[in-house]
Structures are given as structure tokens and as C-alpha cells.
Structure 1
């Protein structure tokens, strides 16, 4: 696997879902078809479009992703959701956070094609690692993010310190696990290991400034303990919200948190949420 890609982004086809909403097939720089959905803002409150990057085994049509999209449009933003390669109706194979940067870049460029001068990105879990790496690597005018929020993101690769992460590594690295991923989770996974190993999330953070950066993490996350968000926030200029009682990623983000994230993405960053007490 490699993060390098060639070729130009373009839209394969676009269809109307509802009045103003569109579903498109985008093509990435490395020629992978990516399904994407655009939901316009209900009123011209802001020119911001929020691009939502889901977690591993998710997709643009998963209920938690659609709920996040509704929460962000309710805060006045247009929203682009999409399925990473190997997920949902997109083509290709999942590289578990490496070449997915190209998928996000295609979605950001589509948002700008639709007329949005300001595009913010928010990612959950694997998607959180992707928005961080994208903000560090894609500084092009059309592909850049103007604000970035990473929710439940890992700080470093190959983490196996929790039981859920050991199970995930089995799914990704073993033939039987990839079969479970394909038929149990509808996620098609690349069998080849990373070569070279991509820039890690914590290595990406110092390269993001001056783009505003928000790190959000639950104090009951079963995948990544609190040293991950603290490491990310400590690596650069970032705002850190540690959420009391929250679990992992989009499924654990309640409506109140999504509304706060939406406000942060569409307006000036607000104050940090208080850090929970240490055990």
C-alpha cells in the first residue's frame, strides 16, 4: 500500500435523491470509484460544507452517519458523506487509513465543485486518522480542509492494547478475518501490508497548523484509551474535548455532542470541554 496517487479527481455520475440532495460516484486520483451523498443546508446560514469520514466497516448510508449528517445540516452547514474504498457501494479495497486520504480528498473537491468556499472535515475512528493525515498532506487549494475535527481517532499505528483492537487486527491481517470483514461487515480489505508505512496521525498533527484542529474522545472508549487523544493534542496546536461517558466513534456520539461539533466546524472554535477526572 502507498499513499501516492496520480490522475485527476472527477465525477463519474450524479443523480438526484430529494430536492437539492444528490448522490454521486466520484473517482479518486488513483482511479477508485467512491460513492458520495450531498445534503444542502436548509438555509443559507453559512457557506461551510462539512465532509464526514466514517469509521472502519461504516458507510455513507449507515444510520449513525446519516444521523451525524442531519445534526450538521441542522447547524446550518451543507454535508457530504461518502463511503471509503472497500466500504458500502464504493469500489476498491480498504487500506485501513492509508489511501483513504485520496477518497476524502475527492469528497472535499466535490464540495468545492458544488460552490462551497469553506470546507471542514470531521472523521470518526479510522476516519479520524484520515482527516488528520489529509489535512497534513493535501494542502492544495481545492483539496484542503479549512477546519478539522477528529473523533475517537488513534494516535499511532499497530495499537493492540485493547481487546477490540486485537480483534480488529485479526480481521485485517488474517485470511479468515478478511472473510469475516467481507461477509460479516461488508468491508473488503486489502491483503497486502503497508509498504511504505504511512505517516501516522500523531506525526500528521504538527503539519496541520494553522488550520483549526479539534480532537474529541470519550473517556469510556473501548478501543483507544485517553493517552491517544492526549498524544494527538500535545503534538500540535489543537483543541481537546474529553467527553464524559462517551464510548467509541459515530455510534457513541450523541445529538448534543454532534451539535457542538457542528457549531465548532461552522463557526469560530469555542472553549474546550473539561477533562474527566483520572481514575
Structure 2
């Protein structure tokens, strides 16, 4: 059963409107734990997969799920992980008005954004990065070569807009943003959980291993047997375990 969601519209520091949905969470959680949920590239908080994840996480805390810029009903253009840190920061600041503890949970591109946000902006009590890349420009798998085609070619950007309601900015990053593996050492002492599947067809295990090796304590790495990539492959059991981790983990 999909939990009821209350819509919200946030605004970033650079003026982009961010579409969001809020699930209040369990009755006993009032004002305690807020979970900010960040989707992957071409995703949306309104998609069935993300809604199912939000409904499971709402058993452990209130959930604020967003659409990154250029996605769904949010304004602006996607920068594929760069300026999206401003979108996540707007959501974290909004969650802080209602919850004492705020944890970010990001999938794929959203995982990279969550890591960079925690390093550059802080303001969170824990970070969960699921199926995230360690570095930019990775083309070692067929799905990632397809992603780069969608980002870099006019036909790909048109396909993303028509099929996925994702509007992608034209041009290269300038400057190149801090890579996730460069960001993770700056997150401590905020607790960090890295989750990755051994069946991920986008990013092989070298990515979570590189992130974990670069990170400082407190940190955890879960390699999930048979788990594929991001939201669509996440099982209810995995999301429940992530929910329990967010509920019990606190900064030292």
C-alpha cells in the first residue's frame, strides 16, 4: 500500500522550484527523524519505485522526497549531479524546520549528490548512498555509455525529455565538481552508509570500494548479493534495513 503524500514546492538558493512530497511518518516519530529521499538520474519521487521506497522508510521517520531540477515538475535543467546539491540543501533545510534529526538517502545520481552535499554543506545527521558512482565520466558498462549518450547528444537529450520528463542542460561542467570519492573524506564525523549490489549493471564494485576506502570513520559498507541498480531493484527488506539504520544511527 502506498502511503498518502502531502505535496510541497521548495525553492533553492539559485531560484529553482523543487517539487517535493512529504510523508509524515509514524505517530511516535513526531519531530524526531526526517529522511530526505534523493532519486537517480531520470527518476522522480512520483514514480512507483520511489513511492514504494518512501512508504517503507516512512515506518521509521518522516520522509521528504524531491524531484531534482530538470526532473518531473521541478523547474530548471538537470546538471547531472552538480547544482543538484542546491536542490538537496533546500530539502534538508526544509526538513530541519520539522525534524530534530535529518538523514539523506540517495540513489545512483542522488547518492553522489548526497555525498557531495554532506561534504560541502553539512547540516545532516547521517548519509546513505545507494548504488552511487565513485567518480565522474565512467563509461565502463553499457548502461553508462547509454547515459552519456543521453547527456551529450541532442537526440539523447530529446529522448530523455520525451520519455522521462528529464530536461538536461547543454554543455560541459565548468568547473568540474568535486567527485564523490573526493567528497567522502570530508563527511566525517557524520555517519556514512554505502550500499551497493554485486549485480549492479551500471557501476561495478570498484565504485563502492573506492568510496569506502576514501571515507573516514564512522562508515559502513553493505555489498548486497543479487542486488541490481538503484530504486527499481531495491527490495522491501533492503529498504527496511536502511530505515532501521537511519533510525538508530547518530553522530558521535
User: What is the TM-score of this pair, normalised by structure 1?
Assistant: 0.86
CA-CA distance at 1:63 after TM superposition = 0.7
* Aligned residue among 80, 84, 87 for 1:100: 84
3-state SS in 2 of match to 1:44: helix
User: What is the TM-score of this pair, normalised by structure 2?
Assistant: 0.95
Matched residue pairs, number? Answer: 245
Residue number in structure 1 paired with 2:221: 240
Distance (whole Å) between structure 2 residues aligned to residue 60 and residue 250 of structure 1: 10
* Aligned residue among 172, 178, 185 for 1:206: 185
1:56 equivalenced with 2:37 (yes/no): no
1:155 equivalenced with 2:134 (yes/no): yes
What 5-or-longer segments of structure 2 have no aligned partner?
A: none
Quick check: which one's helix share is greater? 2
Distance (whole Å) between structure 1 residues aligned to residue 147 and residue 25 of structure 2: 36
Distance (whole Å) between structure 1 residues aligned to residue 61 and residue 181 of structure 2: 28
Residue number in structure 2 paired with 1:133: 116
* Aligned residue among 233, 242, 249 for 1:261: 242
Distance (whole Å) between structure 2 residues aligned to residue 185 and residue 78 of structure 1: 27
Residue number in structure 1 paired with 2:51: 66
CA-CA distance at 1:22 after TM superposition = 2.5
What 5-or-longer segments of structure 1 have no aligned partner?
A: 1-16, 270-279
Distance (whole Å) between structure 2 residues aligned to residue 89 and residue 35 of structure 1: 6
Contact 2:126 2:249 in 1 (8 A): no
1:249 equivalenced with 2:230 (yes/no): yes
* Aligned residue among 5, 22, 25 for 1:38: 22
Report runs of 4+ in structure 1 exceeding 3 Å deviation: none
- Say what the alpha-carbon RMSD is for the aligned residues: 1.3
